[in-house]
Amino acid sequence: MLSALGARARGFALASPWTNVYGLARTVLALGTLGTLLASDTSSLFRPAAGALEFPMCDGLAAAGLFCVLEPAWAKPVAIAILLVTASGWRPRFTALPHWWVAVSFQASATVPDGGDQVTAVLCLLLLPVALTDGRAWHWRAPASVPDVTASLVAWSALLVIRLQVAGIYLQASMAKLGREEWADGTAMYYWLSDPMFGSAGWAAPLLGPVLAHPVGVTLFTWGAVAIEFALVFGLVARGNGLPYLLAAGLFLHASIALLMGLGSFALAMSGALVLYLRPPDRAFEKVSLHLPLMSSAASRTPRENNHATEVP
């Protein structure tokens, strides 16, 4: 039995996890944090919070963070440089640890981090076994044959843990909403989108007003969001043919949140998470290459991809 299990694991590991799928996710995650740093003044990101004696927050492990080791005014350009290199896709083996350091430092030290910053910090940590075993010059390039079966199994294990983590996020998000009266009765989006601080952008208010004022409209908005989040949980067990539709639904949900509520960095963080969750890592995106030298379409397919090439459009 152990021999059969080992043979099956070895066959599974022959499919390379080091493709532009996880590469695209790394780029999107880096761009989320980068956008926050570029669009926000240092004084607004790191300012005294209620009860805080210092800023940025440097208690406990946060003291080893980038924004505590250096003054925020100096740490910010360093973080931007690291994120730019990471987003470019250059040498994932060398940029993996700096990217995680920036992500966890920002999440731990910023005065008001959001859920997207926390997701990014966790995913960058879980991606370390994948990136550190990736010997490519660019994470956009098609993978060669698997150089080390053990390294491949380690990377695949990390990607599986990421999928479990993302499924848990959507399960918690959907189930927690159902425990709130406003979500259960279908009126929550009226309050969220009408809130003067967290609500919709000014340009969208005239368009959303009539929809939110109608019972059917506000109910569809509210329950539609919950339904998509709950459906995304089943991505963990969905067949290949259903994954692209779930991915499109998830990206649409977060793009809508970014457009209507201005949560751009959160949308990017969750989009990166969805790519890792719903796109099989060994099925590379054929058009995401940035004109870097790639193998031919046929040659770049991994053994697993050849077996299932007709399952995913």
For 256-283, letters b (16+ CB in 10 Å) and e give ebbebbebbbbbbbbbbbbbbbbbbbbb
Domain chopping of the chain, boundaries: 16-143, 163-290
What pTM value is reported for the model?
0.86
CB atoms within 10 A of CB 207: 11
Give the pLDDT confidence of 125-172 residue by residue, as tens digits.
Answer: 999 999 999 999 999 998 867 888 889 999 999 999 999 999 999 999
Task: Single out the residue of 257, 282, 280, 275 nearest to residue 193, CA to CA.
Answer: 257
Ranked by mean pLDDT, the top range of 55-69, 163-177, 186-200, 298-312 is: 163-177
Q: How far is it, in rounded angstroms, from Cα 174 to Cα 34? A: 28
Q: How far is it, in rounded angstroms, from Cα 224 to Cα 80? A: 36
CB atoms within 10 A of CB 27: 24
User: How far is CA 79 from its chain centroid?
Assistant: 18
Q: What is the chain's mean pLDDT, rounded?
A: 84
